[in-house]
Structure 1
């Protein structure tokens, strides 16, 4: 079994994160002291990745539950307000909402402060352990789609540091490594914050997995010249018809995959599905600070005052997706019907 870097640690009721903004230059762990610091860590991407953010949010709620003291009605209200504050940090990913929806009833139905604390902690630890197993299952199912020697391209970082372990889009590469299967990864750098360059190459290289870095504008040429066999990406929200929100630049990869006749896969746990949304048109797309585009690690790369458009995500229509890889298996030609058949989830309406 692979030994993973833990991006989130919860030990003896102390919550610690790996500050991913400092990678790859420095592995710095930050102790989270309160809600304000936690919110800042999410917004500044010190902790990132939809599954990791959801687990982090759960542990923050647990930490606040042990920190706060009040009579039961006031205590419950304070924790529910904490939950709402966490939910508002980043609007596009759905995993955090799904975790909080499991934890909020524990608060609402609790009969004592101590009961709420204990149940929140037990449930969040279980969710963390479950995420690691879920990610491993995604990797096992994904690996069935590839052959030894395949060259596979990915974007952003849907790896072990974006989950409890293994990752989603990167999970098959860890499983392949465990089984002695040779796969080559091509990582798109992922402007504007370079998660592919800073994070994906860092964690794969650390694990001894073959990885090659390219810039975002090299993708078409790379698909042709390096004879890429498939593209695999993660997801932040998948609607009930299979439309998928992921890191900005994902949609253009899907278009190129279709042009080159290669499969385009999305790897995501069931917690990333949002059946309350009919299609990707309803997904709120987060827009971030213009300085993320006009500077690179504090160095200006554009003239001051230039107009900037900086969406953090885009939406890939389901018609461009060959398959969605979940912990239950692969949804081929994803649409509302095929998603329901595999997951057993019931669409709304």
Structure 2
């Protein structure tokens, strides 16, 4: 897995396609058949769509690019003009995602700040949803960035290591550390005890668990990194907000509920191997290594789980903050919230 993070998967796919297009047709002329370029792009778009089945942003981006191809069949621009406009469209997805992320951060921070009192509080996040999972800034981590910048009452951030791929330990902790946001890294299995321990120690309590999403259904069911479901159950047990942050490109209105979401299963090696920097006190070299810790063991390794809408307090997008309908106990993301 070289690229991860639902928004980033889509952007890298689009920019990779643009780069491939330029490498093949940079010297095209008006005499180059437009149909040749179309066939080249459509073949590669279909191939890219097979890479990651759960993250819907990829399919939204590829659909957008396919629509541009369809439109050009009607407009019949010259081949060089089409190639230039197609590359510009791919590049525009980068700027769109950054703008969406910052809007999500602002909307989420405003929503939480209006709900919470003036007492110091903490938040918890799962997996990696920051600049390393998007074009920049982040979704759930974007909200946390905005809270850190604008809310003087945010005291601390807790991030789970996020087994088995350790995105929280490798990426989220790195981002929080780099931005001087007070944080503590914990294992996935420590969350419930952390809530109890903060209360016993009279430390700022966790008031919200904020996560991202790889696909959001019409009714608000959410597919996200494995472990998200259990965090939503913990949030409901302790009576705190469970907030999902995602751009509108992550919302799949064609799916009524989470039972229809395809769940990607990852290789067993992600659980059976540990990779990292070798510790050698006598050397300053930074050598990486992968170590097998449990060879030939049976493994079940779904990369995502589905959190029901009934466990979610709010879904924050760049356009709106959707809150759960208290009567139906779900959402309707096909309409704008009142």
- Shared fold (TM-score greater than 0.5)? yes
Provide the rounded CA distance (Å) in 2 between the counterparts of 1:223 and 1:300: 34
- 1:183-198 to structure 2, matched below 5 A, reads 183=154, 184-198=156-170
* Equivalent position of 1:342 in the other structure: 336
Q: Residue 214 in 1 paired to residue 186 in 2?
A: yes
**Aligned-CA RMSD value:** 1.8
SS at match of 1:229: strand
Looking at structure 2, the residues matched to 337 and 299 of structure 1 have their Cα atoms a distance apart, in angstroms, of 44
CA distance in 1, matches of 2:322, 2:70: 36
* In structure 2, distance between residues paired with 1:63 and 1:253: 40
Tell which deviates more after alignment, 199-208 or 178-187. Answer: 178-187
Q: TM-score, normalised by structure 1?
A: 0.82
Matches within 5 A, 1:1-349: 44=1, 46-69=2-25, 71-110=33-72, 111=76, 112-144=78-110, 145-146=112-113, 147=116, 149-179=120-150, 181-183=152-154, 184-226=156-198, 227-297=205-275, 298-302=290-294, 304-333=295-324, 338-342=332-336
Q: CA deviation at 1:291?
A: 0.8
Instruction: Quote the offset at 1:137 in angstroms.
Output: 0.9
1:97-133 Cα offsets, whole Å, 9 max, x none, are: 1011111122233333212211122222222112111
Shifted more, 96-105 versus 241-250: the winner is 96-105
Instruction: Say if 1:332 and 1:338, in contact at 8 Å, map to a contact too.
Output: no
- The gaps in structure 1 that reach 5 residues or longer are 1-43, 345-349
Distance of 1:336 and 1:322 partners within structure 2: 9
Contact in 2 for aligned 1:132/1:166 (Cα 8 Å): yes
Query: 1:277 & 1:323 partners in 2: Cα distance?
Result: 19
Count, aligned residues: 299
Match of 1:41 in 2: none
